[in-house]
Chain A
Amino acid sequence: MVAVHSWGRLSNQEHRVTMLGDRSQAGTCVKNTAPGLAYGMGCSYGDACLNPQGTLWLTTNLNRFIAFDGKSGRLRCEAGVLLRDIQQLMVPRGWMLPVSPGTQLITVGGAISNDVHGKNHHVEGSFGDHIIKLSLVRTDGETIHCGPEERSEWFAATVGGVGLTGVITTAELQLRPVAGPWIHTETIPYRQLSEFIELADRSEAQWEYTVAWIDCLAKNKARGLFTRGSHVHEKECANEKPRALTPIRSFNFPVMPPFSMVNRLSLRLFNMGYYHLKKLKSGEKISHYEPFFYPLDKIHNWSRMYGRKGFFQYQSVVPRDSGYDVTRAMLKAISQSHEGSFLAILKTFGNRQSLGMLGFPAPGITLALDFPNHGARTEKLFKRLDAIVREAKGRLYLAKDARMPRAMFETGYPKFHDFMLYRDPGISSSLSRRLMGS
């Protein structure tokens, strides 16, 4: 048995682990060792990738490319390939993943299973929108090939299906052409939520990427920094000095402090400092895609700074029309609770639903906040936020969740009854037991 945790480090319980070999053997291995659950890079914050006392199928050795067509940009690969490996190989050839979440250190299988989104949801939708086909092995030995055109109901269950429909062994992805690695970015400070909304609305037509950081401790005003970006075109690329495509220089957060380094004082200082420093440096610049898409990958294991008790991320999406009032109410509740968050991200989603039955992205405003685990105190705040999100007919992101009540899941994900028909009875997770009863 091995102690395994997810990104939030809220628990560190024992699991049996089995490493999957290549795609020719994965199916047999899954069948012979079921029941279990696939585990990619464990970058889900909550319990979607955990199965304490049970088996985890580690997928990171399932990491071979299969074929790439340089004309169409279609890439076939095994499901344990990291997004980083795709980007580093393909960007110099003029292709890139159309959707990138805030870290590239995750697997293709994990990205499909949570139907992850990036800063360009209003243009490209989410990860599942770019999957042409995938292979799923079930614990009874069956292999299912599916895609938007082929057995599409299996596809819709698997995209965003948090690993519960089977183990994805291979996938075919449609990459997008890019002129180079450069992104033209602009950072604009804002001092009110309404300003943020206005900036987001105005930017969406012209800019491919939009996202905002928000200082949720600032009293009565929602100040923050709005960032937008677009790919630099071929002609402009030529003027850029050809810099080597090296991975981001990263370092490791070396130790686990016994208590959280994120507390009221450090947060206030950090937020104030961050806001003012970035404000000074705001404006336009040309950035390499790595620091622009994946700023957090610079510090490996940064989640350790929250100490032994770990931390939660609370990510909600609420419809656009009520979005302003709801987000205001949430920010107010947070500031009143004195629980703080320094990785607070605010973003508008474009006008499209995830194609997955349990997919998260939906038209509206999404707010993502990290909170150190202070036990009952933190849960009290979450209950208040839950009430606001439910009232607004919003939902919480399964990739981040470790605690939402079952009733909230059922109202947030009305297609979950359909989803249940496609579950693999030999697969379950902490999350599925908590939210679906098995």
Chain B
Amino acid sequence: MTSRKRIVIVGATSAIARQCARLWVKDHPSDIILLGRNEEKLAILAADLKVRSPKTRIPCMQADFINPDHIQSVVNQIYQEGPVTMVLIAHGFLPLQKLCQENLNLCREALAINALSPVLFAEAFATHMQKVNKGTLAVIGSVAGDRSRKSNYVYGAAKGMIERYVQGLQHRFSHSQVKVILIKPGPTDTPMTTHLKESGRKMAGVDRVAMDMVRGIAQGKRVIYTPRIWRFIMGGIRHLPYFIFNRMDI
């Protein structure tokens, strides 16, 4: 019998993370630790997972997502009870670019939630994973981080930072058993993007994205684009010369 998995999901209430959690509990009961800012929402998710997998243990932990001391102590607490098989860092915040330009507080919040906070969590977990030389750390970035554009560059810049950061971690752990994975979803139909629907944007379903993520993580891929087509689209966009790119209304 393989030993029971211990999975931590940071920002567990996100639609994408929720769907991943459902896939993880589907076949094998495991321990899933849900981290979020809102206890009521976490309890609602835990109940859902419990119905799907009555033998899964699902402790919930509330955390302040930009307080380094708090983050450190929550992660320490998790490791006190044993090592972790896998961590998914999933939280994010997509404000309208225009509002970020007008309101620096909002701009700061976008940078804090999408860049600073995931890095602090990842760093805290990385330290423990290094000690036990074990664990998979997956962080959700975005295709928006591949090249910033005028309609969402504050968010894009934060997601871009995630990519640089993960690159460094992958380098750091290249000779160890610790795996670091960057996930870059394309536009996905979740509460985060309801306003994008308005512009008639075609979006991938959460089911599809979560399935790609769970499969990619199990295979230990370094970078997961989901749906896969975005690898090629972003490859094209990244290499467009600036004089063409800057004329595009995107």
CB within 8 Å of B: which residues of A?
1-3, 16-19, 21-24, 58, 61, 64-68, 70, 75, 77, 89
Assess the B44–A24 pair: CB atoms within 8 A. yes
Q: Which of B34-83 contact A (CB under 8 A)?
A: 40-41, 44-45, 47-48, 51-52, 54
Contact of A64 among B40, B44, B190 (CB under 8 A): B44
CA of A3 to CA of B198, assembled, Å: 9
Residues of B within 8 Å of A68, CB to CB, are 51
- Could you pull out 21 A-B pairs where Cβ atoms are within 8 angstroms? A2-B197, A2-B200, A17-B197, A19-B190, A21-B191, A22-B45, A23-B44, A24-B44, A61-B15, A61-B191, A64-B44, A64-B47, A65-B47, A65-B48, A65-B52, A66-B48, A67-B51, A70-B54, A75-B51, A77-B51, A89-B51
CA of A24 to CA of B41, assembled, Å: 8
Q: Which of B197-234 contact A (CB under 8 A)?
A: 197-198, 200
Shortest Cβ gap from B199 to chain A (Å): 9
Answer whether residue B176 sits at the interface, using C-beta atoms and an 8 A cutoff: no
Shortest Cβ gap from B204 to chain A (Å): 14
Residues of A within 8 Å of B191, CB to CB, are 19, 21, 61
Q: Which residue of A lies closest to B197 (CB)?
A: A2
Q: Which residue of A lies closest to B191 (CB)?
A: A19
A-B contact count (CB 8 A): 44
Q: Which residue of B lies closest to A23 (CB)?
A: B44
Chain A interface mostly helix, strand, loop or mixed?
strand
Residues of B within 8 Å of A2, CB to CB, are 197-198, 200
Answer whether residue B194 sits at the interface, using C-beta atoms and an 8 A cutoff: yes
A17/B48 contact (C-beta < 8 A), A61-B15, A61-B190, A61-B191 known = no
CA of A408 to CA of B105, assembled, Å: 58
Closest A-B pairs by Cβ, 9 of them: A65-B51, A64-B48, A19-B194, A68-B51, A65-B48, A19-B191, A22-B44, A2-B197, A24-B40
Residues of A within 8 Å of B54, CB to CB, are 70
Assess the A64–B194 pair: CB atoms within 8 A. no
Assess the B200–A17 pair: CB atoms within 8 A. no
Residues of B within 8 Å of A24, CB to CB, are 40-41, 44
Q: Which residue of A lies closest to B53 (CB)?
A: A89
Assess the B190–A3 pair: CB atoms within 8 A. no
CA of A22 to CA of B46, assembled, Å: 13
Assess the B194–A18 pair: CB atoms within 8 A. yes
Residues of B within 8 Å of A66, CB to CB, are 47-48, 51
Q: Which residue of B lies closest to A75 (CB)?
A: B51
Residues of B within 8 Å of A70, CB to CB, are 54
Residues of B within 8 Å of A23, CB to CB, are 44
CA of A158 to CA of B194, assembled, Å: 28
CA of A58 to CA of B194, assembled, Å: 10
Residues of A within 8 Å of B198, CB to CB, are 1-2, 16-17
Q: Which residue of B lies closest to A93 (CB)?
A: B54
CA of A68 to CA of B47, assembled, Å: 10
